[in-house]
Amino acid sequence: MVLWCNQVPKAIFTPEGMYCSCVFLIILQQSALCNTHPSSGNPTLSCKCRTFTGDMGAVRKDIQFYRFCAYGFLKNLRLFDAFIILFLREAGMTFTQIGGVYAARELATNLMEIPSGLASDTLGRKHTLLLSFVLYILSFLLLFYGTSFVYFLVAFIVFGVGDAFRSGTHKGMIMDYLEHQGLSHTKVAYYGSTRSCSQLGSAISSLVAAGMVVYGGNYRIIFLFSVFPYLLNMVNIATYPSFLQVSRMQSRKPVLQAFKETFAEFFRLLRRPFVQRIIQSSAIYSAWIKTVKDYVQIVLIHLGMFLPALITDDVKLRNTWAVGIGYFVLYLFNAAASKNASYFEGKRPFRAAWILMAVGFGAGVLAGGSYVWALWPVSWFLFVVIYAIENVRKPLLTGVLSDAVPNDVLTSLLSAQSLVRTLWTAVLALVFGGMADAWGVGHALWLLSMGLLFFSLLLGRWGKGDS
């Protein structure tokens, strides 16, 4: 590789920012040259590097930042996401059966959540992440070829195991990278910015998927095309810098000893009340979102009936474009919310996250009521608020947890958080599906949201203070 880099002299480096211009003749294999640790005494080569200073710290946008963004963007090109409920309903599944496969997915994740986190922290994060993508691709193919409930059940279980190996792993990589580069103070803004790219991927995915369904004539084809961005992402992950691969094994300790140390440290931290509060606060809202999020498709279908541009005799065509465009707008709001999460950080980020959770559940109560009364624009707006709150809370609570625990067990703690979330999701999915079949989606949404709103108020009393 040939590299020219014009560095600004150290004397004029200020907290307001810096600029570094790097020109490459060869792009591939740049990682090894661009990640020298600042404390090593050697100059840090930060490719295409720009540092901006915001209210809550600087976000240095180097090559690895854009690769983290590419990971989230490609990961969220799940073309089926916007249409999964419509696909399963078209396949003849009841809401109870849909709740059942969702619950099976979460239970499968539960069984592997803690072991996968410990394995990732001990043996290597890149390998763990690559395995998760192999499992995702297998689940996509099962859904593409599947024709019965059993196929869909197995596909959701395989997807759940993939989720277990992925959850927390990439966040751990990002936190390791920030510590390696001496940028840990920017974690909320940095993670929020990379997460916004994930939401942009979801936005584009919804429009692309809508086009595929319109011109392909069925929902099934989108599962096959979801494989290709995941293959690209595997290449992206495999070529991450080598120091992001392992944590405790870098010390060349025996595997069993490294596992024991990780396990002991994990349970010591898990017993801390504040860590438990962080985990519960993050898990309960994310579980609720995961349970109800796909039912926004039904809101969009009803909303599409009143939009002049979507008036057509072809019901499936109208529904497809209504859902695709609706999700596109929704995820654009999500991207903006995530990118600006650092503005909510302040001095008490955990308290801010709790207040946002209560507001989100309150919006869920109102969304359920507006669904019952067929106030589709109001219901749609409230779903936008619910999603946006999740995308502010995620970076906030990831930063809070990262501050509370060492990086070498962070993935394990994030896996514990995901474990609690999946336990909640398994219960909520079955309860919500049953209530939706019995009383309708609107009543199920406001009842569930009301119960969780009261729970969040109790959690707030339990979690007073940020330490």
| Tens of pLDDT, residues 130-148 | 999 999 999 999 999 988 8
Q: Is the pTM of this model over 0.85?
A: no
Distance CA 424, CA 415 (A): 14
Angle (CA) 12 16 19, round 5° = 60
What local confidence, expressed as pLDDT, does residue 168 receive? 73
Same domain, 202 and 84: yes
Q: Is there a single domain that holds both residue 43 and residue 66? A: no
Specify the pLDDT at position 135: 95
- Per the CB < 8 A criterion, the answer to whether 49 and 60 are in contact is yes
Residues 122 and 10 placed together within one structural domain of the fold: no
Same structural domain, 40 and 64? no
Task: Report residue 38's pLDDT band, with 50, 70 and 90 as the boundaries.
Answer: very low
Q: Is residue 252 part of a domain?
A: yes
| Residue 8 clears pLDDT 50, i.e. is over it | no
User: Domain for residue 238, yes or no?
Assistant: yes
Q: Tell me: do 164 and 15 sit in the same domain.
A: no
Within a domain: 467 = no
Is 355 a domain residue? yes
Do the domain assignments include residue 116?
Answer: yes
Is residue 306 pLDDT above 60, yes or no?
yes
Structural domains in the chain (count): 2
Residue 411 pLDDT level (bands cut at 50, 70, 90): low
pLDDT at 33 over 60: no
Are 131 and 183 contained in the same domain? yes
Burial label for 92, CB within 10 Å (0-12, 13-18, 19+), is exposed
Residue 218 falls within a domain, yes or no?
yes
Residue ranges of alpha helices (H) inside 81-186 are: 84-90, 95-123, 125-145, 149-166, 169-180
Strand order in the sheet with 57-61: 3-7, 18-24, 50-54, 57-61
Q: Mean pLDDT: which of 16-20, 55-59, 72-76, 173-177 is highest?
A: 72-76
Domain span holding position 264: 54-462
51-55, 215-219, 287-291, 375-379: least confidently modelled range: 51-55
Q: Same domain, yes or no, for 238 and 179?
A: yes
Whether 97 and 18 share a structural domain: no
At 389, which CATH number?
1.20.1250.20
Whether residue 11 is found in the same domain as residue 80: no
Verify that 126 and 27 share a domain, yes or no.
no
**If we measure between CA atoms, which residue out of 256, 206, 196, 207 comes closest to residue 68?**
196
In this structure, the answer to whether residues 27 and 174 fall within a common structural domain is no
Tens of pLDDT, residue by residue over 342-381, are: 787 766 788 888 889 999 999 999 999 999 998 988 999 9
Are the CB atoms for 209 and 327 separated by under 8 Å?
A: no
Residue 220 lies in a domain: yes
Q: What average pLDDT does range 241-259 have in this prediction? A: 61
Lowest mean pLDDT among 122-131, 242-251, 356-365: 242-251
Do 316 and 362 fall within a single domain? Answer: yes
127: left (phi over 0), alpha (psi -120 to 50) or beta: alpha
